[in-house]
Amino acid sequence: DTHETYYLLAVKLFSRLIGVHTTTNTQQTLYHAKLAAYELDRLGFDLTTIKKVLIIIEDQRFYKHGGIDFLALMRGVISVVPFVRKRLGMLQNGGSTITMQLSRSLFIDASDYRKTLRRKLVEILLARWLNKQISKDLVLGMYLASVRYDKKIFGLAAATLHFFNGTIITLDIEHSIFLIEKVSNLSNFYRHTRLHYLMQKIESKLRVKINHEAVYELYNTAGIKPSN
């Protein structure tokens, strides 16, 4: 199926006008991202738990919005202010939905990531288009199969090989937390307060008991140390 709609062509033209470079062959990029998602299924990965963790950490209203969550964007703006963030017990975040993050990863040149406001605007426009092209479940699969988990490590299959010697096919909640948190943290350090907050949040939302020590041990084994 072709996904080259007039809307997409308009978004590409607009992105060029504001100096944000997008992929020239969107159709081919999307096709390969779909193949990567289907490959995870072929390899036997059980994504049930990691998809739940992904939604809780990155985009709790994922199934309710059309690719853009304006409430999350507002919270992202508010969370930039340290006093407000501390007063409300928030973590700083950019307000990007999973669909926006996938759009950035697939279609926007990495050299333009620092153009925060312009890049974010293009992300919003692309996410609206992408949400109409593929199912929500495929968005999750493509995200897990395509995003960067560490420097030069793209996709879940490569990540499990890199961090766990490729032995983890059914991802339990501890491994899922480690992997999803790594997507937004490519450094060799992790923030203990952030990780503790995320684990408490997941326990509350999913009503499960997480082995906190097991999660910390995954970081230790990967050579990733706490920064606070």
**Residues 148/105, Cβ–Cβ less than 8 Å:** yes
| pLDDT at 72 (0 to 100) | 78
CA atoms of 213 and 218, how far apart (whole Å): 9
Q: Which two tokens stand for residue 167?
A: 């032995």
- Residue 117's contacts (CB-CB under 8 Å, 6 or more residues apart) are none
| pLDDT at 162 (0 to 100) | 94
Q: Which two tokens stand for residue 172?
A: 């339990």
**Residue 210 DSSP code:** -
Q: Which two tokens stand for residue 38?
A: 């289907």
Q: How far lies 196's CA from each of 8, 88, 220, in Å?
A: 40, 17, 15
Q: Which helix (H) or strand (E) holds 154?
A: strand 153-154
- Rounded to the nearest 10 degrees, how much is the dihedral formed by the CA atoms of 211, 216, 220, 222? 80
Closest CA to 22 of 99, 150, 118: 118
115 φψ region: left (φ > 0), alpha (ψ -120 to 50), beta (else): beta
pLDDT of residue 166 exceeding 80: no
**Residues 85/92, Cβ–Cβ less than 8 Å:** yes
**Residues 47/144, Cβ–Cβ less than 8 Å:** yes
Task: Kindly report, residue by residue over 39-98, the tens digit of the pLDDT.
Answer: 999 999 999 999 999 999 999 999 999 999 988 777 766 655 554 445 555 555 667 899
Task: Kindly report, residue by residue over 111-163, the tens digit of the pLDDT.
Answer: 998 888 899 999 999 999 999 999 999 999 999 999 999 989 999 999 999 99
Confidence of residue 227 (pLDDT cuts 50, 70, 90): confident
| pLDDT at 23 (0 to 100) | 93
Q: How far lies 200's CA from each of 2, 24, 51, 210, in Å?
A: 43, 42, 17, 8
- Residue 25's contacts (CB-CB under 8 Å, 6 or more residues apart) are none
190 SS3 class: strand
Q: What is the residue whose two structure tokens read 């950019």?
A: 94
Mean pLDDT score across all residues of the chain: 90
